[in-house]
């Protein structure tokens, strides 16, 4: 029997999605069930293995949903696994950091990530991420859990409402960005068009990175969800430059926060390495599935997953 | 004309230098992390906390974990590299440290271009990241 090519291209995304859901739901169910009996004791490799499987699925969804691994990792793992939030945040930062380090060189070489744009922004965000990490480790866990839940639900709203502008209209660059010579040129591969870009509202944008840095450090989330709207919608960088610079920016912001967590003992290798491997392998599969899936459907699934994890974090923090 | 446009589209020298240092550091860090994890997980190196006991710690907060396992914060892990779990910190430290090296490496490139403002910004970033890495900023916590 020969299956026509056309039908396979239609079936593949649906099958892929079905597989993802089939894989993730029993794992999540097993995770919740096993959590209830976590004290009964499992072989040492049980939780790292579950972590590897879940982060693999997460890596696929992260790529297809256009979000960073960290933003899915922290609420889901802290909500459904027996790990304390301190270790989840430390691991989440290393997951986000590794993803950014892996993507950074290519984005810089292609001139999609702009070092000139990233340097001043990163200086503010990384300094504030240190403050955020210290606040996050000093506050009681339930307070952080509540704030995390609220932040995740806020991210859902942002994902539902925020618009994107491929080529924002920047009439004139502001004085600060002109003085710092933050502008550039890139070629849009799909059309061959050469795009000259510049930014505006730089002082306001830099002020917002104070808040973004603090939140990235406090929750160990990575901060792509906030970087992109500020760079693109507020400061007027083209969407591709914003996305690439944001990804690269995480390698600097998360470095400062990650050191605070590492130096305060929040790193357990048995959590870190399976998570890194899972997310990386999942991302590789996700990139392949990207061509055959419908981004809008995946985006809704990611928003639903985040919403669920956000409510769970909120309830956990409130002790409900 | 095409050459001129190509030059305009290309990344600046500091960006290329940064990218190549970042790439090498990232690969080295990941490789070391995976090798050391294999040494740990396959029992080739003896861990400080036995593998079958680690689950007793990861559900407690970090303060209790450090206290009960008698682990010191900061760079104390350097003195514990003989243990399979702590040898993994080598890869983590490389991944978390490569950005500092990247910034240090681009400062001379920026100065050569007479881009003093960005050289100062890069130096400030090195100071910020080094402060975070130093371990001076301990947190009382919970």
Domain that includes residue A258, residue range: 50-318
Average of pLDDT values for A42-69?
87
The answer for residues whose C-beta is within 8 angstroms of residue A34's C-beta and 6 or more apart is: A42, A46, A50
Distances (CA, A) of B67 to B47, B99, B142: 18, 31, 13
Closest residue on chain B to A144 (Cα): B142
Long-range contacts for A297-303 (Cβ within 8 Å, ≥24 apart)? A297/A17, A298/A17, A298/A61, A298/A64, A298/A65, A299/A65, A299/A66, A299/A159, A301/A17, A301/A61, A301/A65, A302/A61, A302/A62, A302/A64, A302/A65, A302/A66, A302/A67, A302/A72, A302/A159, A303/A65, A303/A156, A303/A159, A303/A160
Contact present, A222 and A92 (Cβ < 8 Å): yes
pLDDT of amino acid A18: 41
Chain B residues whose CB is inside 8 A of the A94 CB are 92, 95-96
Are B128 and A127 a contacting pair at CB < 8 A? yes
Helix (H, G, I), strand (E, B) or coil at A187: strand
Token duo for residue A304: 């639903």
Q: What is the pLDDT of residues A182-229, one digit of tens each?
A: 999 988 877 888 889 999 999 999 999 999 999 999 998 878 888 989
Q: State the Rg of chain A over Cα.
A: 20
Say which residue, A13 or B140, is predicted with more confidence: B140
Residue A309 falls inside a structural domain: yes
Closest residue on chain A to B75 (Cα): A263
pLDDT of amino acid A187: 85
Name the one residue in this structure whose structure tokens are 């930062």: A93
Residue A105 falls inside a structural domain: yes
Residue to test with chain B: of A34, A109, A121, most B Cβ within 10 A? A109
pLDDT of amino acid A15: 41
Q: How many domains does chain A have?
A: 1
Distance (Å, whole) CA B98 – CA A58: 26
pLDDT of amino acid B139: 66
Distance (Å, whole) CA A189 – CA A195: 11
Residue to test with chain A: of B101, B139, B140, most A Cβ within 10 A? B139
Q: To the nearest whole angstrom, how far is the Cα of B107 from the nearest Cα of chain A? A: 12
Chain B residues whose CB is inside 8 A of the A87 CB are 58, 62
Are B59 and A38 a contacting pair at CB < 8 A? yes
Residue to test with chain A: of B62, B102, B118, most A Cβ within 10 A? B62
Name the one residue in this structure whose structure tokens are 């999540």: A28
Distance (Å, whole) CA A15 – CA A65: 17
Nearest CB to A101: which of B12, B22, B100? Answer: B22
Chain B residues whose CB is inside 8 A of the A179 CB are 117
- Beta strands in chain A, from DSSP E residues, in sequence order: 183-188, 193-198
Residue A14 falls inside a structural domain: no
Are A115 and B18 a contacting pair at CB < 8 A? yes
Residue to test with chain A: of B12, B29, B58, B85, most A Cβ within 10 A? B58
Residue to test with chain A: of B8, B23, B65, B95, most A Cβ within 10 A? B95
Q: How many other β-carbons are positioned within 10 Å of the β-carbon of residue A304?
A: 11
pLDDT of amino acid B142: 56
Residues comprising chain B, all counted = 142
Chain B residues whose CB is inside 8 A of the A116 CB are 12, 118
Residue B59 has pLDDT above 60, yes or no: yes
Residue A33 falls inside a structural domain: no
Give buried/exposed letters for A67-98 (b at 16+ CB in 10 A, else e): bbbbbbbbbbbbbbbbbbbbbbbbbbbbbbbb
Q: What is the ipTM of this complex?
A: 0.94
Report pTM. 0.87
Contact present, A201 and A174 (Cβ < 8 Å): yes
Q: What is the pLDDT of residues B83-101, one digit of tens each?
A: 999 999 999 999 999 999 9
Are B93 and A43 a contacting pair at CB < 8 A? no
Residue A113 falls inside a structural domain: yes
Give the start-to-end residue ranges of the domains of chain B: 13-98
Are B142 and A41 a contacting pair at CB < 8 A? no
Residue A45 falls inside a structural domain: no
Chain B residues whose CB is inside 8 A of the A108 CB are 11, 15-16, 18-19, 22
Helix (H, G, I), strand (E, B) or coil at B36: helix
Q: To the nearest whole angstrom, how far is the Cα of B112 from the nearest Cα of chain A? A: 16
Are A115 and B57 a contacting pair at CB < 8 A? no
Distances (CA, A) of A205 to A216, A252, A284: 16, 17, 33
- Decide: residue A297, CB within 10 A, 0-12 exposed, 13-18 middle, 19+ buried: middle
| Beta-carbon contacts below 8 Å between A and B | 195
Are A84 and B62 a contacting pair at CB < 8 A? yes
Nearest CB to B88: which of A110, A137, A269? Answer: A269
Distance of CA B9 to the CA centre of its chain: 31
Residue A232 has pLDDT above 70, yes or no: yes
Average of pLDDT values for B25-43?
95
Closest residue on chain B to A196 (Cα): B9
Distance (Å, whole) CA A209 – CA A215: 10
Chain A residues whose CB is inside 8 A of the B58 CB are 47, 82-84, 87, 268, 270-271
pLDDT of amino acid A37: 47
Nearest CB to B139: which of A104, A106, A134? Answer: A134
């Amino acid at each position: 029997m020969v299956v026509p090519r056309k039908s396979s291209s239609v079936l593949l995304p649906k099958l892929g999605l079905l597989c993802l859901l089939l894989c993730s739901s029993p794992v999540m169910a097993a995770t919740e069930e096993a959590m209830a009996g976590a004290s009964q004791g499992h072989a040492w490799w049980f939780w790292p293995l579950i972590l590897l499987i879940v982060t693999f699925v997460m890596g696929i969804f992260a790529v297809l949903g256009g979000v960073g691994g960290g933003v899915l990792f922290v609420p889901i793992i802290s909500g459904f696994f027996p790990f304390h939030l301190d270790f989840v945040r430390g691991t989440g930062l290393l997951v986000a950091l590794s993803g950014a380090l892996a993507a950074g060189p290519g984005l810089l070489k292609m001139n999609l990530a702009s070092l000139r744009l990233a340097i001043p922004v990163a200086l503010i965000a990384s300094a504030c991420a240190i403050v955020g990490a210290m606040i996050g480790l000093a506050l009681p866990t339930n307070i952080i859990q509540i704030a995390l839940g609220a932040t995740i639900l806020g991210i859902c709203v942002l994902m539902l409402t925020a618009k994107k502008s491929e080529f924002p209209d920047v009439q004139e660059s502001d004085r600060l960005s002109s003085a710092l010579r933050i502008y550039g040129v890139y070629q849009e591969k799909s059309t061959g068009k050469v795009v000259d870009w510049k930014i505006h509202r730089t002082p306001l944008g830099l002020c917002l990175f104070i808040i973004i840095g603090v939140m990235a450090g406090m929750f160990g989330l990575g901060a792509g969800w906030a970087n992109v709207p500020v760079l693109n919608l507020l400061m007027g960088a083209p969407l591709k430059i914003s996305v690439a610079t944001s990804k690269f920016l995480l390698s600097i912001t998360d470095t400062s926060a990650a050191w605070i967590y590492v130096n305060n003992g929040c790193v357990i290798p048995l959590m870190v390495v399976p998570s890194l491997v899972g997310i990386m392998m999942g991302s590789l599969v996700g990139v392949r599935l990207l061509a055959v899936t419908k981004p809008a459907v995946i985006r809704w699934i990611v928003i639903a997953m985040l919403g669920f994890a956000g409510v769970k974090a909120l309830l956990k923090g409130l002790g409900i | 004309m095409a050459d001129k446009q190509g030059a305009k589209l290309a990344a600046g020298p500091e960006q290329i230098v940064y990218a190549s240092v970042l790439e090498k550091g990232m690969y080295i860090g990941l490789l070391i992390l995976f090798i050391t994890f294999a040494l740990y997980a396959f029992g080739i190196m003896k861990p400080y906390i036995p593998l079958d006991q680690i689950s007793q710690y990861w559900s407690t907060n970090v303060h209790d974990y450090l206290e009960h396992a008698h682990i010191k914060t900061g760079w104390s892990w350097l003195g514990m590299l003989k243990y399979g779990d702590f040898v993994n910190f080598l890869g983590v430290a490389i991944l978390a440290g490569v950005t500092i090296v990247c910034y240090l490496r681009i400062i001379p490139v920026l100065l050569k271009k007479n881009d003093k403002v960005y050289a100062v910004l890069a130096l400030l970033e090195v100071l910020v990241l080094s402060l975070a890495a130093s371990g001076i900023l301990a947190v009382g916590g919970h």
